[in-house]
Structure 1
Amino acid sequence: MARLRIAVFASGQGTNFQAVVHAASQDQLEGASLELLVCDKPEAPVVERAKRAGIDTFLFRPRDYESREAYETEIRAELERRGIGLIVLAGYMRIITSVLVEPYAGRMINIHPALLPSFPGINGIGQALDYGVKVTGVTVHFVDGGMDTGPIIAQRTVEVEDDDTEETLALRIHAAEQQLLPWVVRRIAAGAVTLQGKHVTITKEEM
């Protein structure tokens, strides 16, 4: 089986990107290779993380393009040139259009800091706190073009403590993300994830 080539899209600190980098460096991704960081903010800390790890970057500023479709067309060409087989959205704060969603259907995943379908969109952690839930968590799902509406691959729960603030809860949410995302990537690379309609099955493996 050909080696899976991965591109991570990120916009900020890059802690989830770093988790994938670490997993790759420890040979924990079933032979998959992290080939590229795509970032819409050239000054973001994640870019420095990529440089330290020796990962190539595709950097752009959306305002330099006439539309989302315009810069995504350029991104798609770069992904195709590199033979990218999986896109991982890890804190990428841009809506993805059909320019990328359609050719990468079933090959693009996103991590979200809540138990979808609850609390989609921005600030899932704050939404959960405001609602008063006792349990929240993280979700990795396929991207279908909607706002966090794609088929759910895996979830991990995080209990909400009575004295939690958004900052304290975020620490545990991010820790869960950094465990779950590399695991999902590894299972995809192993060919253990099957998508049928809205339903995802994963061959069992201890997490």
Structure 2
Amino acid sequence: QRVLKVSLKESPFLMGVAKLHFVLYFITILLAVVTLFMGITTSKEYAELEWPLDILVVVWWVLYGISIFGLIGIRRERTLYISIWYFIAGFIAVAMLYLFNNMEIPTYFVSGYGSWIHSVSMYAGTNDALVQWWYGHNAVGFVFTVPIIAMIYYFLPKESGQNVYSYKLSILAFWGLLFVYLWAGGHHLIYSTVPDWMQTMGSVMSVVLILPS
């Protein structure tokens, strides 16, 4: 809202979307705590929630996207500063990662046996591991690293009273981070059954990642 020079309050629609997002988020977190304590889990790291909660996550993530692009659409500041680029990238990347990794088959509806809430991954074995750590590594990056960098680009110049030294460097850092981060997930699968070249590439990209990070 600050860098776009517009407030959610100026759009009743976007304010409604934001409030719905807020409510659905807390309902999801509450249900997540209850189901995990009950032992209802997919047992996939960072993707433990079963399919009904995954659907809830997708719904409020779409609402989050509507808020982002809605504010961009009614902005007063014509320049899209680098912070906004990071938030857009975070939204798109997490949406893609979450959808692909959480492709699961509800076992009861397919076989007629077991609990209706239970599911199995659409992938198996090494493929499941590859998709899981492509997701696991990058979900952390795009949920924590990317938005924090976006906020630093706003707060650091504001608090120091100095402009960003180089706009070109900020663009290089942005595209460097996006490209390299997506290839580094293989470092979670060292000495596993995934191909050696993928383990090597993940390790090399992890070292290269120091630069844009």
TM-score (norm 1): 0.27
Structure with greater helix share of residues: 2
TM-score (norm 2): 0.27
Structure with greater strand share of residues: 1
